[in-house]
Structure 1
Amino acid sequence: MAPDPWEGCFWSWGLLLWLSVGSTGDAPPTPQTKCTDFQNANLLQGTNLKAHFLLFTPSDPLCGQLVEESSDIRNLGFNVTLGTKLVIHGFRALGTKPSWIDKFISALLQAADANVIAVDWVYGSTGVYFSAVENVVKLGLEISRFLSKLLVLGVSESSIHIIGVSLGAHVGGMVGHFYKGQLGQITGLDPAGPEYTRASLEERLDPGDALFVEAIHTDTDNLGIRIPVGHVDYYVNGGQDQPGCPTSISAGYSYLICDHMRAVHIYISALENSCPLMAFPCTSYKVFLAGHCLDCFNPFLLSCPRIGLVEQGGVKIEPLPKEVKVYLLTTSTAPYCVHHSLVEFYLLKLRNQDTCITVTFLSSSVASSVTITIPRQQRHGKGIIAHPSPQCQINQVKLKFQPSNRVWKKDRTIVIGMFCTAPLPVHDNRRTVCLPEPVNLQASETVSHDLKITCI
């Protein structure tokens, strides 16, 4: 009887299967990485600290590995030769995981080859705000003990960057205080205001807590701190009332938290995008908008600070100045960044009343406007306009003379003058562009002109 070909195939496959099982049976199974998420706590549990340290690495940015007290963090993929970034959240009213944390960590690991450690203190930060404040010192001590173990492994103090959100910013300041200001950097994202505006330097974030301290302020009239707390303090859109945030309490929770959380989303945007979030030192937001702070010479010697993972925020002078207020405008949605420009109008003839002129930049159907005022018996008025596109991509400028209100008759006044503009920072007149001819503006009528600026 002829052998069945299927029988031969069966024995061949059986032999291969036996060999494959035998060859792997002696090898130890590949250990599965255990991922740990943030804790959840209810209002009754929000007194104990229960801090967890979750390690995220470039090789697995979506998996947080719980660092146990007795474990060697290097076995979890911690790389001693890389920088280390600690992310500390703030008060958690409902005891839930921060909604922004996953995106924040992913953006950090995308932007930097670093170890990222998220500090989960949801239990200690929920319930009553004042109870969370009382836990700040305890958490600061616990983080300090954790960092001391990293230093034993060979991590340098200067390679540690703490990023604290709201109350977490002051936790970072406490840790920096324990290390006598020798940590590399602390970034405070709208550091908390309640209980901290009048606190001592030892109790809150301040420039002495790290080699470089920066803070981004977005809600100084509510949940954020008003005073400067870093070497560089960014007051975004003046530090309050962020564009796109609700202006009515009828919006509920979003009305309370939107301005405060804008600092987090702006920082994420800075990590994800290459567009500039550059700011300019000035005595006040009003003075900045009036066009009186056009460069960064004083005190930064022309190196304008920028939000994001830029060494010392782009500031290149030593020693670093302290508590410098810098201002910038943003759009209402991500990526938030704009290009600031100076706009000026020179009247050919003096007037006996204020002259208000609205300037509008247009590019790709996007319009940005600002109104500049020329005081009575003066020829010159200026202001700052913010546009999502650089000047060389702006196609058109529109000018409109806004007359004084006259109910009884139409205002037919005509003003004549020169329009000029320059991108910030303005170091000299070389980048100033003016319309070639004087502009005639009749009250309430819009005049359009092409704007041709070469990209450099």
Structure 2
Amino acid sequence: MLNLYNTDETCPSFTRLSFHSAVVGTGLNVRLMLYTRRNRTCAQVVNSTFLGNLNVTKKTTFVVHGFRPTGSPPVWMEDLVQGLLDVEDMNVIVVDWNRGATTVIYNHASSKTRKVAVVLKEFIDQMLVQGASLDDIYMIGVSLGAHIAGFVGKMYNGQLGRITALGYKEPLGNIDFYPNGGLDQPGCPKTILGGLRYFKCDHQRSVYLYLSSLRENCSITAYPCDSYRDYRNGKCVNCGIPPKESCPLLGKSNKQFSPCPSLTVLSPCFAVYHYFVDIITWNKNIRRGSITIKLRDKAGNITESKINHEPAVFQKYHQVSLLARFNQDLDKVATISLVFSTGSVIGPRYKLRVLRMKLRSLAHPERPQLCRYDLVLMENIETVFQPILCPKNLQL
């Protein structure tokens, strides 16, 4: 176990304070705790006059936490330190400014951020004297820690190797990621009845997304887009298809792993799996409505997507491409079910006459695409069928 929080005198621990400290306020005290692959579980306290075991020829990553209204250590810190060391042989420095960040008044904590940045600059200056390069200095800032990282970057005129800011809405980076549009995150409480999680869950998700990006079996693909609405309407998922450039990956992905695409749900790698459902209809009149699609494999695993973010317009002999998002990725689909709905509570029930349906995976474009022909979907009634492989001329 990483010795961030214990009271063992031989291994410095991250400052643990109480809610009482948050109420009365705390004066600023910054401690820099160095971890390397040689001392993964026991930190070494370093400062601008003592660099300790820091190897200036290697990359150095500073991890800077944010506002701590209860005084407790960040629950994600241990996983982040270990994840970074798993990815690369580097120096990881935990910036412990809990004495200063612990307060119930946010402005009191934010007023100390520039002072923390000055401490970090003094330390980095000494690293540079010893032969370190700004290109090898990386900062990960969470919440107010992101502001601290930004202040340090400004002090070096934007010459730091990289800054990752977790917890800011406005676009300000070389690239900005907005999981689920950057608003409410799946699995987080929607009302204040969720207690403390209501205030921190959405905000903290950025940290866990970053942690997921460090895992070798889960790189998180993002799709450049002008708006979340355009994305959900399937207008922004063509990156990576030649001749376009590859899709950007969220977080610190130094290797190209098998994709675990884009927006988040509650799964081990915080990802959903994207498919296009292409439908050509032959109704004489225009039909407007939503489609719910369910996939089932031979083992009985089922995953479902309700594509209802914006009613689709089905016109005779026109293909409508719907973006479906599933929280499971079924390798071999045995059956597909479709439900068509206009959303109307009263009035007649409509039919959607499907000339052809095609299912294609965005996560694995190399997989054979699945088709079905001549379906009649009765409104609000589930239609289950076995798909067949699309002809080669449709595998595009």
- Shorter-chain TM-score above 0.5: yes
Q: Which residue of 1 aligns with 2:213?
A: 270
In the TM superposition, what is the alpha-carbon distance from 1:352 to its structure 2 partner? 3.6
Can you list the C-alpha shifts for 1:348-370, whole angstroms capped at 9, x where unaligned?
23424413322223345241313
Give distance in 2, aligned partners of 1:453 and 1:185: 46
In the TM superposition, what is the alpha-carbon distance from 1:143 to its structure 2 partner? 0.6
Q: Does 1:442 align with 2:375?
A: no
Q: Does 1:396 align with 2:335?
A: yes
Residues 1:102 and 1:297: Cα distance change in structure 2 (over 3 Å): closer
SS of the residue corresponding to residue 283 of structure 2 reads: coil
Give distance in 2, aligned partners of 1:400 and 1:190: 38
Q: Which residue of 2 aligns with 1:57?
A: 36
Q: Which residue of 2 aligns with 1:184?
A: 161
Out of 68, 82, 88, which is 2:64 matched to?
Answer: 88
In the TM superposition, what is the alpha-carbon distance from 1:436 to its structure 2 partner? 4.3
Q: Which residue of 1 aligns with 2:3?
A: none
Give distance in 2, aligned partners of 1:101 and 1:151: 26
In the TM superposition, what is the alpha-carbon distance from 1:441 to its structure 2 partner? 1.3
Residues 1:313 and 1:246: Cα distance change in structure 2 (over 3 Å): farther
Give distance in 2, aligned partners of 1:162 and 1:185: 6
SS of the residue corresponding to residue 303 of structure 1 reads: coil
Q: Does 1:279 align with 2:222?
A: yes
Which sections of structure 2, spanning at least 5 residues, go unmatched?
1-7, 391-396
Q: Which residue of 1 aligns with 2:177?
A: 234
Out of 339, 351, 363, which is 1:413 matched to?
Answer: 351
Give distance in 1, aligned partners of 2:147 and 2:30: 16
Q: Which residue of 1 aligns with 2:135?
A: 158
Q: Does 1:339 align with 2:254?
A: no
Task: Identify which range, 385-394 or 36-45, moves more after superposition.
Answer: 385-394
Q: Which residue of 2 aligns with 1:194?
A: none
SS of the residue corresponding to residue 281 of structure 1 reads: coil
Q: Does 1:358 align with 2:296?
A: no
Determine if contact 2:282/2:315 at 8 Å carries over to the other structure: no
In the TM superposition, what is the alpha-carbon distance from 1:59 to its structure 2 partner? 1.8
Q: Which residue of 1 aligns with 2:234?
A: 291
Q: Which residue of 2 aligns with 1:115?
A: 91
Can you list the C-alpha shifts for 1:124-147, whole angstroms capped at 9, x where unaligned?
112121111111111111111111
Give distance in 2, aligned partners of 1:160 and 1:351: 62
Give distance in 2, aligned partners of 1:304 and 1:442: 38
Larger Rg: 1
In the TM superposition, what is the alpha-carbon distance from 1:242 to its structure 2 partner? 0.8
Task: Identify which range, 438-447 or 143-152, moves more after superposition.
Answer: 438-447
In the TM superposition, what is the alpha-carbon distance from 1:83 to its structure 2 partner? 1.0
Q: Which residue of 2 aligns with 1:304?
A: 247
Determine if contact 2:351/2:376 at 8 Å carries over to the other structure: no
Determine if contact 1:280/1:328 at 8 Å carries over to the other structure: yes
Can you list the C-alpha shifts for 1:177-199, whole angstroms capped at 9, x where unaligned?
111111111111123xxxxxxxx
Give distance in 2, aligned partners of 1:414 and 1:424: 25
Can you list the C-alpha shifts for 1:76-111, whole angstroms capped at 9, x where unaligned?
xx2222211100000011222112111221122122
In the TM superposition, what is the alpha-carbon distance from 1:290 to its structure 2 partner? 0.5
| Aligned residue type for 1:355 | G
In the TM superposition, what is the alpha-carbon distance from 1:252 to its structure 2 partner? 0.6
In the TM superposition, what is the alpha-carbon distance from 1:343 to its structure 2 partner? 1.8
Determine if contact 2:293/2:305 at 8 Å carries over to the other structure: yes
TM-score (norm. length: structure 1) = 0.74
Aligned CA-pair RMSD: 2.9
